[in-house]
Amino acid sequence: MKFTSISHIEKLKAAGEKFTCLTAYDATFASVMSEVGIDTILVGDSLGNVIQGQQTTVPVTLEQMEYHIECVSRGNKNCLIIGDMPYMTYSTPEEAYDTARRIMQAGAQMVKLEGGAWLLDTIRGLTERGIPVCTHLGLTPQSVDALGGFKVQGRDDATAQAMLDDAKSLEAAGARMLVLECVPSDLAKQITEALSIPVMGIGAGVDVDGQVLVLHDMLGISPFQAKFVRNFMADAKGDIKAAIQLYHDDVKSKTFPAAEHSFD
């Protein structure tokens, strides 16, 4: 059994090829994604929204993340598993080390955490300890209350420059991947071209290196459909596996996201 590695994702970026990611929270969907050939699975704290019915990701606990990562790990055959570090479980480097240990021991091959320059010491420490780190800029759901809601980030020159500076600093600290969420396409392209690490977008246009969507969103069963989401289930005439295959194929061919799924 051969698992996708972060090195493989880095090679895809270097070759100008796109990579795919979807969220999963159980063994069954992880198995289907493996069969289709999805490159990476994000076990996201978005489970708070789509599994638990919470308004935000804030209530999700570390124990819940461990449980769902374990479930996904059992069903996974070849995808790189990224595990979210939940709200306030990495507020200090020492706390982050323990959280990362638990996320990795549950079955993840990479941890994801949200934030910019304040995380630099944490990322250096995790990297020194052999933990691959994915960072997350733009709309960071764990900070949605501080951001004033679910809004596009980086639309003015000052915040755009700050995001670019943060991205460069996070890479220099040792981050191996970056997620950009709800970011204008031009800014996402600029950041992607400025970094050597893979950049994965959700609502960040087509010029990033890879795409991620929440599973329930792309299947069209979430109560709210954001601008950056496409209902692949409808396109696949109700066939779940075919919908996931279509998403994978359309990301690889740069058909998705289209202009209507992106922000100016």
Return the number of other C-beta atoms located less than 10 Å from residue 227's C-beta: 12
The answer to whether 73 touches 110, Cβ cutoff 8 Å, is no
The answer on whether 209 is annotated among ligand-binding residues is no
The answer on whether 253 is annotated among ligand-binding residues is no
Q: What is the DSSP string of 115-152?
A: -SGGGHHHHHHHHHTT--EEEEEES-GGGHHHHTSS--
How far apart (Å, rounded) are the C-alpha atoms in residues 137 and 180? 5
Counts of helices then strands in the chain (DSSP H, E): 12, 8
The answer on whether 239 is annotated among ligand-binding residues is no
How far apart (Å, rounded) are the C-alpha atoms in residues 170 and 174? 7
The answer on whether 84 is annotated among ligand-binding residues is yes
User: Could you confirm whether 10 is annotated as catalytic?
Assistant: no
* Catalytic-labelled residue, pool 10, 181, 193, 260: 181
The answer on whether 114 is annotated among ligand-binding residues is yes
Binding residues for Mg(2+): 45, 84, 114
Active-site annotation, residues: 181
* Binding-site entries: 45-46, 84, 112, 114
